[in-house]
Every structure is written in structure tokens, then in C-alpha cells.
A and B are shown apart, each in its own frame.
Chain A
Amino acid sequence: MSTLLSQTVNGLVLGSLIGLIALGYTMVYGIVQLINFAHGEVFMVGAYGGLATSTYLLPGFLAQQWYLALPLLLVGGAAVSVAVAVAMERFAYRPLRDAPRLAPLITALGVSVALQEVVRVFYPGAISPLPYPRVFVEGAYVLPIGDGVPIRYTGALIIVVSVVLAIALQRFVDHSRLGRAMRAIAQDRDTARLMGIDPDRVIVATFALGGVLAGVAGILYGADLGFVNIDIGFQTGIFAFTAAVLGGIGSIRGAVVGGLVVGLVKALGGQYLPGGTAYDYVWIFVVLIAVLVFRPQGFFGETERVRA
């Protein structure tokens, strides 16, 4: 019983983090029909941005107080992620916006590799994993059930932050002016332009929003696991991409639910399905294939519109 509960907690923590990143995939796809494979790297540079903020900008006494350090790290990490996401849109994707769909996809892969290499070469010490500063309460609360169910404080933080940000994003897209413009462009870019909406501005804003979420996720990841390396973007990015597709790419609710499904399948599959943790990736992709076969549009997706 306590093992089942611990694995569920682990799944929810990992799932919320994946969901937070998946939001970036989903928003960009919803608006420009681009699978931004470099989004995982936006998450990775966010983690390094936070690390740089803590190493080079924070005075020692601030770094000791997590309630002062954490917000500053979040701002620093998100700023780096936003800068990278916006630059990526401007220099790698905008020139290819009207090109066949394969071109930006390949560019995205190139950008992903380039970002990893840039961090590896230019961030001091990034050739190997770097320890992450402790920016939140350490340790775990142990639920007194059976052997005890440990919940890491940082894990609880990830769940809370992810849920709050996902709800905020949904409300923003539903109710704000910019959100309306985003939906209009997603529906029909040319008509939206005729109605006086500047697609470039809205698309940049979309990338920036995805960057904020990925940057926050990067800091939370570092705080939770205690280290970062340049591979985390690729690995976590693939999970987030899977989550976005599972949930129905383009759907905000779908990204969060897809993230939770991936997290839970990884944790519970590793415990209860044959093969143990060595096979947990297999189960994630089995679920993905099953969903694509029986419900290709994902849990919350709409069937693809034929665009004029």
C-alpha cells in the first residue's frame, strides 16, 4: 500500500514537471503548427540560467535564505529561457514560417543540438553534471501510512507551481486580449491579420510564455534533484513532447493530463509491470502508440482541421 502511494506521489511530481514543459510544446504547435523540438533545451538553459544567477549574481547572505533566493533564481532562469526562446523564433523559425513543414522541424533539431553545444562549451564546468544550489526547504514529509510515504518538499512545490501556472495560462488564453489574439491566429492567420492582429507579435509572445514556463520548470528541476547536466533538456523534452501528443497537441488541459499520465506510467510501470524500472520507458511509449492508434488526436485534441 505504502509502495503504491509513494510511486503515485513520485509519478505526480514527475508528471507535473513534464506537464509544465509540455505546455510550451502545445502552445507553439497550436499557433504555428510547429513541433518545437528545441523546447526541451529552453528548459535546460533555464536551469543553467538559474544556476548562473545563483553563482555569479547572488550575494552570499541572499543565497542562504531560500525565500529570497528562490524568486531571484526563478526570475533569472525564466529570463534566460525567454531570451533563448524568442531568439530561436526570430532567427531559426520566422525565416522558415512559410516553408514546407519539414524544414522548421529539422531546424528545431539543429537548434536543439546547437544549444546543448553552446552550453557545454561556454558554461564553465558544464561538460559534467553541476551541483544545484539548495533553494527550497530540504527533506521530506513522511505520511504515516504503512512503511511511510515520503513526499519531498521540493516535489510538493513542483506540483503546486505547475497546477497554478497551468490554470493561470488557461485563464490567460481564455480571457485576455493577447489570449484572444492567440486563438484567432491559431484559427486562421490570414484572416486574423486582416482584422488588425500582428501575427509576429503574437507568435513571439507565445514563444516567450512557453519560455517562462520552461524556465520555471528548469529551476524547480534543479532544486528538486540537486544537480543539472546538459542532457536533461533532450530527455525531459521527449517526455514532454509525448505528454503533449497524448493530451492532444494544442490543448492546455491535455498537456497537463498527458504529463501526469507519462509520470504515473513511468513510476507505476517501473514498479508493477514486468521488467521493473529498466523498462519504464517502454511502457510510456506503449501508451503513446496505443493512444495514437485508437485516438490519434489525443485525449483532448480536436480532429485536425483542414486549413485553406
Chain B
Amino acid sequence: MSRRRAVAVAGAVLVGATLLAACGTNRSEGDAAAGSSCDTSKGTLVIGMIAPMSGGVSAFGMGMRNSADLAIDQANENCTVPGYRLVFQPEDDQSLPQIAAQAATKLASDPKVVAVVGTYNSSTAQSAAPILAQRSIVQVSPANTGPALTRGEKAATEPQRPFPTYFRVAANDLVQGPFGARHLVQKAGKKKIAVIDDGKTYGVGLVENFVKEAERLGARIVAREKVGEKDTDFSSTIAAIRSSRPDAVYYGGEYPAAGPLSRQLAEAGLDIPLMGGDGIADPQYIELGGRPGDFATNIGAPVESLASARAFVDAYAAAGYAEPSSAYGPMTFDATNVIIGALAGVVRNGEFDESSRRRLVEAVQRLNLPGASGTVAFDEFGDTTNKVLTVSTVKDGEFEPLETGVFEPSN
């Protein structure tokens, strides 16, 4: 083989791999509309999504993509938005803020894009939200929990809303961290807690708010450590907290690190429970090493306990997606339906163009919708008014709900 030909082969392999990787992000034309009899005379409108469909937390991202796809298919079938056919355009952000910014820019440059569902990570939302806000594109996140996204830098003391276009159906860390602390300290009776975070917006925020409430309830934080988001060997971190003899570990981060961390804790002889937030509340956590007795807080009530969620679960199963809906399925479905519901109101008396985007933001703000995860409505900051949370524990290879409640702030 000549040198030139070999180079060409290597080049072709590279190009091929890149193309294949790109396929995943192509616009998915809602094929359900093809057979329906809805009036689509005004054309198509695009609902975008920015979520991690590859990388460590893709189990969440794929569940989000499918759940939004389901909501859009249903809307097309039911002619929910008069005169228009909805098209779903999911973009993969790989959990990386700079890729999320690219995706946001791409979506914002398309005049047919009416709204964006996502992101999953708070850090990616921080880069995407300003870009979408500039074009007045409404964004509804099913999963972000960083308080600063709705309440600015001084979220706890002087809240100020940074993006009028940004909404979320997930309760923020000001709620989830303390809710977990109450369970761990009061119900599980843990008094010497080691905290570990992964240095990302979500993990740091969760741990900060956990620590405040845990200390108020009389627990001692005996060690504080940080791990890299992509770390895999936690033996040094574990050796560092070992001598302080903690009776529980609280972890701010996501399941790809938390699962192995739990397993390695046990192997180092620290047979103490690990607790985390919604970022670890996925079956993948248990597969990767999560142990019986570990805890996770999650937003909303358990799906089995809500009649409204049943309809979602059944429709999701009937649609036959390859991936499970994940912990965020119901909330993504709701986030998408919030957009669809508001959009239906806005286009009732006319066409949608870029100037209608502002009216859509106002419509979302006013909306009150019975959703799969409970009632969906937003406060003046764009936060959900639904403060229902659940603590689950790992039992028999799955997360089993222990306690569901409405969070009441303590002071």
C-alpha cells in the first residue's frame, strides 16, 4: 500500500467516525404527524432540547430526549398547537458548558425555534441561558438545581432573577440539600458526616446547602473533600476521610463517580451509607457500585404514588423507546408540555414569528398545569412552586422511596 493511500484510509476512518458521532444530533422529524389529520397550514415550529446524550450522565440525557419526544408526538397527534406541526430538535451538550453554548447558539439562530427544553447540568445552563435569553427564547429545565440560575449570585439572601426567559420544574439546591440533611441527621441519626463534592456547580451547591442545615441540626462535618468529576480511583480521598471516623458520607455530584465511590468506601472498610441528591438517583448508580442502605433525595413524589404520572409511564412504555425514562422523565415531559401549552395559547390568534417569543415567555410564567410530576407553576423567579421531595434508599437492587414531603424552609 502506498503511503498516500494509507493516509487516505486513516483519514477516511477519522471522517467516518466524526460523521457517525454527528448523526446523533440531527433533527428528528416528528413522523407521527405524517398520518394525522391536523391542520398544519401555518408550517412547522421547532422545540429544541439541550441535554447530555453522550458522556457519563447520558442515561439521564437519553431519558430526557425520549420524554420530550413523547410530549411532542402527543401534541402533534392531538393537534394541540393549531395550524402548526411541531418538530423536535435535540442537541447533545456532552455535559460540557462550551458545547451547550454552541448548541444554544445554533438553536437561537433558527427563527423557527420557539423554546428549548433543558439543560440537565446547572453548569451547562449557566452558559446556555444567557444566549437564549438574548433572543427571548423561553427555556424550561427539568433538572437544573443550582440556585443562582433563578435567584442570581446571592440566591439565599438577596434573590434577583438573572434571566426572564429561564424556568425550571426542578426544585433548587436551597431545598434539596437541607431536605437530605434532615433525613440523614434526624431520621437516620448520623452525627459525624464527611462531605465530598465534584467541584461542579451542582455538587458544590448541594453540599453547601446540605452542610448548613446539617450543622444547624447538630451534626458535625468531620471532613470535606473534593474529587475530580472524571476521577475513578477514590482511594486517596477515602484514606483522607477515614481517620475522622465519619458515620455517613454526603456526596455532591452524579452517579458515574458516586457509584464507584460507594463501592470503594465499603472496600476500604468504611461500611457507612452514602447519600446524594437527584444526580445519583438512577439505577446506573447501583450497577456501578451503590450499596444497599445508601440514600438519595429526588425531586417530586415517587412516580407510583401519583395518578398523573401513571399516564406518562404507560405512554412511555407504549412508545417503545430503547432507553428508560430516567429520574427526569416525568419532569421533562412536564417541561415540554408547559411549552406546548403556552404555545397553543400564543398562536391561537395568529402566526408565530420571532416577535411572539416574548409573549410565549409571559404565557409560560402564567401557566398552571397538572403535570406528571405534580402541579407545575412558576414563582416570580421562574422556580417551580412544587416543593415536593422524596428520600429513597437502595434496597434489593433498586431505589425504594422512604419518605415524601413538602419542604418548609427552617428560618
Contacts and interface: CB of A to CB of B under 8 A. Distances in A.
Q: Does A associate with B in a complex? A: yes
Interface stretch (B15-23, B174-182, B185-193, B368-376): B15-23
A92 B14 CA distance: 11
Contacts of A139: 267
B55 A276 contact: no
A226 B289 contact: yes
Given A140-B268, A142-B269, A225-B233, A10 B256 contact: no
Contact of A7 (B10, B236, B245, B284): B236
A128 B10 CA distance: 27
A270 B226 CA distance: 10
B240 interface: yes
A118 B259 CA distance: 25
A7 to B, nearest CB: 5
A275 to B, nearest CB: 9
Interface string A282-307: 00000000000000000000000000
Contact of A232 (B4, B54, B232): B232
A154 B245 CA distance: 24
A14 interface: yes
A147 interface: yes
A200 interface: no
A117 B21 contact: yes
B260 A226 contact: yes
Interface string A207-220: 00000000000000
Contacts of A71: none
Contacts of B54: 120, 127
Interface centre among B7, B10, B18 (most CB of A within 10 A): B10
Which interface class (under 10, 10 to 19, 20 to 34, 35 or more) fits B? 35 or more
A131 B287 contact: yes
Contacts of A113: 14, 17
Contact of B225 (A92, A107, A155, A277): A277
Contact of A2 (B6, B232, B243): B243
Interface of B is mostly: helix
Contacts of A129: 56, 256, 259, 284, 288
B12 to A, nearest CB: 10
A107 B57 CA distance: 30
Interface string A256-283: 0000000000110011000011101100
Given A110-B14, A150-B268, A278-B199, A271 B230 contact: no
A121 B20 contact: yes
A142 B269 CA distance: 8
B287 A121 contact: no
A6 interface: yes
A266 B240 CA distance: 12
B235 A229 contact: no
Contacts of B9: 91
Contact of A94 (B6, B227, B239): B6
B127 interface: no
A95 B6 contact: yes
B10 A120 contact: no
Given A14-B233, A121-B20, A91 B6 contact: yes
Interface of B: 3-4, 6-7, 9-10, 13-14, 17-18, 20-21, 53-59, 62, 199, 225-228, 230, 232-233, 235-237, 239-240, 242-243, 245, 256, 259-260, 263-264, 267-269, 284, 287-289
Interface of A: 2-3, 6-7, 10-11, 13-14, 90-92, 94-96, 107, 110-111, 113-114, 117-118, 120-121, 127-129, 131, 138-140, 142, 147-148, 150, 152, 155, 224-227, 229, 231-232, 235, 266-267, 270-271, 276-278, 280-281
Q: Which 4 A-B pairs have the closest CB atoms?
A: A278-B226, A95-B6, A6-B239, A10-B235
